[in-house]
Structure 1
């Protein structure tokens, strides 16, 4: 089966998220080793781990909109007719679309507001920590529109 652009983009986002999780685990491991074995914890490790966590969570969350691996309760869906289930899923993606736009808008404001703040242990703008939020919000909105399109096409196929 041919994979579309959204499939490949979501796959890359999930892989970047997984790489961020691995990198954060290595940084925290180094911090623990430094603290308990070397008796000197690296000053940069805590803020680096936090930055990586923000990035991998938002990248994975964006991928999850397309890949549909977010937690959901399917009990309501199971008692609905297929047409109502399809409508419910469209409404859910409309909500996700708007939440994505909120992330995009307010994430951009957050990055702008903290752009001059420096993370002391890293020497970079605090804005870099949050730059993923508007990006992920935009991707969530785009993926939601794609899912809505898929659901609408399901209705036309019947």
Structure 2
């Protein structure tokens, strides 16, 4: 499980850096084409929106795997004793996994299925919107894996 975690983290880091780099290039091109050339590119706004969606959802999954880096309010958790804290952290990880399963995997999967079956495409890039939204169920699966990993890593099971 540790090897899968390490490989998955490396792949997500690479994807996040690549998406962010493409987003920066896209926005710079939009500014240059609008103010220097005098004519906006038609695809840059849509590409920036889609890459920001992927960056945000993939970043949320990545941060879930980096348990220390996740933004949380742990004032009450830090007041608990060792065993109570472990149980509470286990409950938190289980709740995150259930949320990811119900909302992201099942709900996101339905969204992807619906948009692909209706044939919805983006206006400028002509990309099927189901491909854009596919990051949601994928990241839901990643969050579930990271939650299970965090539980096993803390010897909660």
Normalising by structure 1, we get a TM-score of 0.89
Matching of residue 130 in structure 1 with residue 129 in structure 2: no
C-alpha separation in 2, matches of 1:91 and 1:111: 29
Count of residues paired in the alignment: 152
Matched residue SS, 1:4: helix
Stretch of structure 1 that moved more, 14-23 or 135-144: 14-23
User: What is the Cα deviation at residue 4 of structure 1?
Assistant: 2.5
Normalising by structure 2, we get a TM-score of 0.90
Cα-Cα RMSD: 1.5
CA contact under 8 A between 1:10 and 1:64: conserved in structure 2?
no
Q: Hey, what does 1:6 align to over in structure 2?
A: 5
C-alpha separation in 2, matches of 1:35 and 1:8: 40
Matched residue SS, 1:121: coil
CA contact under 8 A between 1:13 and 1:59: conserved in structure 2?
yes
Per-residue CA distance 1:13-32 (angstroms, 9 max, x = gap): 13311221121111011111
Q: Hey, what does 2:124 align to over in structure 1?
A: 121
Unmatched segments (≥5 aa) in structure 1: none
